Amino acid sequence: MSDIHHPGRRSVLAAGAASAAALGASWLLTGCTGAAAAPVLPAAAKKGAPDRGGTLRIARPPASEAETLDPASALSAYEYLGALYNRLVRVDANGDLAPDLAESWEPDARARTWTFRIREGVTFHDGRRLTAADAAYTLRHILDKATASPQAAVLAPLIDPKTLRTPDEHTLVVPLKTPNAEFPSLLTHYNCYVVPDGSARSIGRTGIGTGPFKLESFAPAGPGRVTAYTDHWQGRPVLDAIAFYSVADMSARSNALLAGQVDLLSQTNLDFATARVVAASSRATVARVKNAQWYVLPMLTTEKPFTDVRVRQAMKLAYDPEHVVKVALQGAGTAGWDNPVPPGDPAHIAAHPAHDPEKARYLLKQAGHEGLTTDLYTSSYDPIFTPMALAYQDSARRAGIRIKVKTAAADSYYTQIWMKKPLMATYWYTGRPVDQLFTQVFRGGSSYNETAWSDKDFDALLDRARRETDDNRRRELYGEAQTFVVEKGGAMTPMFADRLVGLSRKVRGYAEHGFEFDYLGIGLKGA
């Protein structure tokens, strides 16, 4: 997702993407001159039924040696999670909530107490039967301060772990501190995979879950392997096994794919130059996931000049998101217009202020920052960061804003730059339900509020939206929250980018949504 690229891994990954970024710089120049047309790439992975059996080989970026299989942890081995575990509630291909380990759920009249019916006939990899006690334990584990789960900041204001009830083996009752009509959506997060009751000390090593694969081996920041769990409640997965390899450099991962040494590049968004090479090869191709990544230029609102809302507004009005999409993505994405809610989300509102360099100049003059000069940090961590930063620099120049693009080291970018420098480039995976998105990234006090923006009126608006049980009215309130973020917040969202995923031409059934692909149905043809 996050995330993925998800922010919990941002601080621990060391993605060496210098080679791919250099390729990216070459097409940036052609994009600026208009000399090159956007390349034609496959719209999706190959269709058709895979063969039964085989081993899918996945190359992933390296992680910290503290990496763990505990899904609640900020250091979770993300690529393993969807293979080993299930959630109570998941997001389906249409973006709607769907049953997973919870067959059904329902609120009381005020959306203050939620009752989940836990699926029967499900077993963990060690043979234990799944019960409501496991679901309750999972929530308590997330909320335990010792776990330090990123999702705790979202759930702790809502749940007192002492009040969770399991009236029978297949019923979980969750009383909330305050009403929340969106509560089940918060359980779709990747930290919310269900683990066995009492497993906190061991789960990081054992990976015992209810998922379609069970753990064979795992080395933090190293290789690992999972094998098909034949007693999975949805049936046996197509594959016999998945092998994971840690490959530090993006170009090395791409070369391994081209050489037929791996079948899928995980957590790797190919730049267009590399994607064209991959798509043109005999062994590999590209799957395109629409609007899968949400790119951001966060302004730290606790640091001058971004403490002044007029400066933040000017920075947004000064640039043209359509220009950034054209140059940085060669059209493979959608303009964000500073709204973090993806265009495909039912809560998304399309209204936004127009690009207006003259108004930006006026606001800067009012704020005493006419002819503003500021640094914008980027790195080769992601191949889109620098093209996005340069496109913003080019566009904002018309408003008299001088941007100095500074390149920081990839391996320390999310420890030394993210949430520390006043202006930088970053991204998130889309797929978060709207309440999760706003609560995790924009609510005052959240540990992932990367702009440190805090507004009591905005937080109160979120609370009103959560309490509203009328779906239409709740959607309207989330629309107001989007307007609030666009007009007052510190995050510039130039674009939603299509993720370009490199995979073998043998792969079938690659369908990505809600932070992950379908581990149950993916397979290989003619392997």
Q: What is the pLDDT of residue 28?
A: 31
Residue 66 inside a domain? The answer is yes
Residue 59 inside a domain? The answer is yes
Q: What is the dihedral of CA 484, 486, 489, 491, to 10 degrees?
A: 150
Which among 254, 271, 223 is positioned nearest to 503, based on CA atoms?
A: 254
pLDDT tens, 93-110? 777 889 999 999 999 999
Q: What is the mean pLDDT of residues 473-481?
A: 96
If one counts the domains in the chain, the total is 1
Q: What is the dihedral of CA 319, 321, 324, 326, to 10 degrees?
A: -130
Q: Looking at this protein, which amino acid is placed at residue 48?
A: G
Q: How far apart are CA 484 and CA 408, in angstroms?
A: 31
Q: What is the pLDDT of residue 515?
A: 62
Q: What is the pLDDT of residue 412?
A: 86
Residue 70 inside a domain? The answer is yes
Give me the domain span that covers residue 257.
7-82+205-289+499-524
DSSP codes joined into one string, 375-407: EEEEETTSTTHHHHHHHHHHHHGGGT-EEEEEE
Residue 240 inside a domain? The answer is yes
Q: What is the mean pLDDT of residues 110-129?
A: 97
Peptide bond into 305 cis (omega under 30): yes
pLDDT at 75 over 70: yes
Residue 37 inside a domain? The answer is yes
Q: What is the mean pLDDT of residues 303-314?
A: 97
Q: Which residues contact 33 (CB under 8 A, 6 or more apart)?
A: none
pLDDT at 86 over 60: yes
Q: How far apart are CA 428 and CA 3, in angstroms?
A: 6
Q: What is the mean pLDDT of residues 408-423?
A: 91
Q: What is the mean pLDDT of residues 251-267?
A: 92
Residue 186 inside a domain? The answer is no
pLDDT at 370 over 50: yes
Q: What is the pLDDT of residue 192?
A: 96
Q: What is the CATH number of the domain that holds 39?
A: 3.40.190.10
Q: What is the mean pLDDT of residues 277-289?
A: 91
What predicted TM-score, i.e. pTM, was given to this entire model?
Answer: 0.82
Residue 396 inside a domain? The answer is no
Total residues belonging to the chain? 527
Q: What is the pLDDT of residue 43?
A: 64
- Cβ(300)–Cβ(307) under 8 Å? no
Residue 61 inside a domain? The answer is yes
Displacement of CA 515 from its chain's centroid (Å): 6
The larger pLDDT score, comparing residue 511 to residue 3, is at: 511
- Cβ(363)–Cβ(380) under 8 Å? no
pLDDT mean across residues, the chain: 89
- Cβ(303)–Cβ(453) under 8 Å? no
Q: Which spans in 421-470 are helix H?
A: 434-441, 456-467
- Cβ(91)–Cβ(97) under 8 Å? yes
pLDDT at 22 over 90: no
